[in-house]
Structure formats: C-alpha cells, structure tokens
C-alpha cells in the first residue's frame, strides 16, 4: 500500500493514464513514506464501505464516496474520501482520490 513505483505499476490497470503518470512521478521522486495514497493514512483502516455515487458528466466523470473505518476496543473513527472516475479506454478508471471537502 506504500507509494512506490512498483505499487503504482501494479495498480495502473485501475487508473487513468494521466493519474498513473502523476502517481509514478510522485513515487519516483519522493523519499520512502509509510503513508498510503489511496487512504491518505499511515494507520491503515480496518474496513471501508462505498457511499454515495454522483454522475458529474454522463459517461465521462463519476464521483464516488468511500468511507474508511478504524475500530477496535478503544477507538471508533471514520474518514470520508472521494474518488473521481473517468471513462477511458472502454472502462471506468480512477482519476483522483482525496479527502471529502
């Protein structure tokens, strides 16, 4: 889950061409880190659920809410993220992921 060139390449088939290039550039130029790009966390969540999905531009861009959960005997926390998907090469691919505003 760490942002390395190898991990970006493993996920390329799920990413738009532009997004894969941005992630590869970031991973190639950054010092090793424990933070995961997709969850924006060093403390990986225990589970997730998919929330609201909105069509921004029919057939081109879709916004998908993802809720991440951390829960154990002493902690119960959730964080909302947004993934933007674009229709590219006859498939829906992730173009960005970030915290929900």
Q: Which residues of 18-31 are buried (b: 16+ CB within 10 A; e: fewer)?
A: ebbeebbeebeeee
Q: Identify the CATH assignment for 5-99 out of 3.10.450.50, 3.90.1010.10, 3.30.70.520, 3.20.20.80.
A: 3.10.450.50
pLDDT in tens, 56-75: 888 788 899 999 998 888 88
What's the predicted TM-score (pTM) here?
Answer: 0.76
What pLDDT was estimated at residue 27?
A: 60
pLDDT in tens, 9-52: 888 899 999 988 888 776 655 555 566 777 767 788 888 999 99
Residue 1 reports pLDDT greater than 70: no
Structural domain boundaries of the chain?
Answer: 5-99
pLDDT in tens, 71-91: 888 889 998 999 999 999 899
User: 59 vs 1, 90, 97, CA distance in Å?
Assistant: 30, 10, 19
What pLDDT was estimated at residue 64?
A: 92
């Amino acid at each position: 889950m760490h942002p390395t060139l190898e991990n970006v390449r493993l996920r390329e088939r799920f990413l738009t061409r532009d997004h894969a290039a941005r992630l590869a550039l970031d991973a190639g130029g950054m010092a090793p880190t424990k933070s995961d790009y997709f969850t924006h966390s060093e403390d990986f969540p225990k589970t997730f659920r998919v929330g609201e999905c909105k069509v921004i531009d029919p057939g081109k861009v879709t916004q998908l809410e993802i809720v991440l959960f951390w829960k154990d005997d002493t902690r119960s926390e959730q964080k909302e993220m947004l993934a933007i998907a674009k229709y590219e090469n006859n498939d829906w691919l992730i173009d960005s992921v970030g915290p929900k505003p």
